Structure 1
């Protein structure tokens, strides 16, 4: 026993220094104003939330702050913010907006040392706290790159209730896909490192939103639980050191759709689609499947999660499916032997997932 204990150790983990999730978190909390007073600040926004920024962050619209409009989640915007931070000796960056703004600022924070405060205006994915940034390359392909975990996270739940419903639905889809990813973690036991703590965090995160399908997505309770779930989900990835607790076969399908540039789906919608298909394919293969409540939540909240709804043909879906295992060659999922699965089984799963009444 003594020898075993001698080999044990603890991990040093990064967490945000401050987390505020509440109604009126921006207007009623003194945290933001006190944190950035007398500091050189860059406020990163996108044009779609410019008026929201003026209304909610008036103290940042002055001569002491720089306002930068993020036009795309690409390397050019990363370079532009990095250059401004260097030239103006920026001490704090406030990322106010959706995933595009947050991902660009998180990526810059891996390059240049500054204090990062994220203030999401929509809850469309777990990028709020995840150590991953989705950045488009020069060819328009999505890349998932290492990113800094924010120093501070401020979620004004009242503000997030006003986001377009489709963005909130996508956030639910992204969070519920954790259940599919966890099935792949179970599947890979013995062949890949199994991190029990990240598994627990990812599961607890998804549990936040399960059984909430009967409440409107503008309900403050729903928004609060979705925000908390997405934040926990991002931290699960940070705890794990990779995205495995929240990214399995369903995400590989989404990555393949991105790679082939197919359809019009948001990330959360694509992984919801992948979650549904993987459930019915696992069923055909006699593998463990999802709790029925997961699919019920996707359906009752009317999350776009079929190829037709996302502008993808059946042929295009199968084209993406066939290359899905190649998207993360080190990621062990139940799709690892895809080429050995009879076509009729793949077809049957498609019918059950997307065409059956």
Structure 2
């Protein structure tokens, strides 16, 4: 971990209708007028087609790729098709941007991140979640060269995504406590500045909880700024420690165990409630804040059977075993897992 080498986006453009400026952004940043545009089946209609239209009017040569899943195979396809491009534009949600991020890193070309939802901090961070034969892994990647976050488009996405992004940011609180614990117990490198930025971001969003509403552009803007700030904390740390701890281990375990997992941020929010309880913090406040923004706080609201919650708690310590957290090396017994979930009202 090298705190002396920090990768941050060179430019961040955020606001209502900002996507209309994408041609100027590309002209200012890129040496050639040939780009690869990555979208998803739905996000192509939401924003991808418009981005293509704008860039074609600016005389860009465009290669289009549609991504369905964030897999190694998808990354390989994009790497092959974009090797002669001056940049990759990831226009979509987390899966699209993660694939674009890895492909741009491998090809040593810039990534311009154009998120269509505010579901998690991947829009600005130097990490990518990619699925392989071992499950979903978090990989080191280059941070986006530029970020264009149109809050009008993001506010029109299903509100569930914005609430999930809010929950993902709140999970910074338990993640940083886990990081502090690892620093104290096993002398893991720790960045005061990254931790402070991460915690400050979570607390600012807690203060804004009463103002987070569906179909509200200001709400989307607040969450987007929080996600960008959280992504920067990850960049400063050089890994995801400021925003990923035991609550993320729980979420990743749930992804492997539950037949139909919920959104990443939703699961992390519920995990934060339980891990805050384990850490001896104010878990009731976390639950109250998530309730205010209509984010899930129970297994029922996640749409996941209670048994999978218990099993994920038991198995969570096995996820990324090199990352020490409040779960320790041995994890939780079934009795302890059931007690935690019952005490925090995640299960009934």
Give the TM-score, by structure 2 length: 0.89
- Kept in 2: contact 1:208–1:225 (CA 8 A): no
Per mean C-alpha deviation after superposition, the further-off stretch among 300-309 and 290-299 is 290-299
3-state SS of paired residue (1:144): strand
Aligned to 2:123: 128
Alpha-carbon displacement from aligned partner over 1:272-329 (angstroms, at most 9, x marks no partner) = 111112223x2xxxx4303754322211212123222334322222222112111121
* C-alpha distance in 2 between matches for 1:217 and 1:292: 24
* C-alpha distance in 1 between matches for 2:292 and 2:201: 20
* C-alpha distance in 2 between matches for 1:351 and 1:22: 42
Task: Summarize the Cα distance change of 1:49–1:195 in structure 2 as closer, same or farther, 3 Å threshold.
Answer: same
Pick from 327, 341, 344 the counterpart of residue 350 of structure 1.
341
Aligned to 1:43: 37
3-state SS of paired residue (1:42): strand
* Offset at residue 63 of structure 1 (A): 7.4
Alpha-carbon displacement from aligned partner over 1:156-202 (angstroms, at most 9, x marks no partner) = 11111101111111111111100111222233332222210110121
* Offset at residue 228 of structure 1 (A): 1.2
Task: Summarize the Cα distance change of 1:356–1:111 in structure 2 as closer, same or farther, 3 Å threshold.
Answer: closer
Aligned to 1:181: 175
Aligned to 1:320: 312
* C-alpha distance in 2 between matches for 1:57 and 1:84: 17
* C-alpha distance in 2 between matches for 1:272 and 1:238: 22
Aligned to 1:200: 196
* Offset at residue 204 of structure 1 (A): 2.1
Corresponding position: 1:99 with 2:94: yes
Aligned to 1:23: 16
* Offset at residue 128 of structure 1 (A): 0.8
Q: 5+ unaligned residues in a row in structure 2: which ranges?
A: none
> In the comparison of the two structures, how many residue pairs are matched?
340
Task: Summarize the Cα distance change of 1:302–1:119 in structure 2 as closer, same or farther, 3 Å threshold.
Answer: same
3-state SS of paired residue (1:73): coil
Aligned to 1:4: none
Matched ranges for 1:1-357 at <5 A: 11-28=4-21, 31-32=24-25, 34-35=27-28, 38-51=32-45, 52-61=47-56, 64-86=61-83, 89-138=84-133, 141-190=135-184, 191=186, 192-215=188-211, 216-280=213-277, 282=278, 287-290=279-282, 292-336=284-328, 339=331, 344-354=335-345
* C-alpha distance in 1 between matches for 2:165 and 2:42: 19
RMSD in angstroms over aligned alpha carbons?
A: 2.4
3-state SS of paired residue (1:143): strand
Alpha-carbon displacement from aligned partner over 1:114-160 (angstroms, at most 9, x marks no partner) = 12101101010000111211111147x21211121110011111111
* Offset at residue 28 of structure 1 (A): 5.0
* C-alpha distance in 2 between matches for 1:189 and 1:38: 45
* C-alpha distance in 2 between matches for 1:205 and 1:270: 19
3-state SS of paired residue (1:303): coil
* C-alpha distance in 1 between matches for 2:230 and 2:346: 31
* C-alpha distance in 2 between matches for 1:220 and 1:37: 34
Aligned to 1:3: none
Give the TM-score, by structure 1 length: 0.87
- Kept in 1: contact 2:273–2:283 (CA 8 A): no
- Kept in 2: contact 1:263–1:310 (CA 8 A): no
Q: 5+ unaligned residues in a row in structure 1: which ranges?
A: 1-8
Task: Summarize the Cα distance change of 1:63–1:195 in structure 2 as closer, same or farther, 3 Å threshold.
Answer: closer
* C-alpha distance in 2 between matches for 1:33 and 1:146: 25
* Offset at residue 270 of structure 1 (A): 0.9
Aligned to 1:5: none
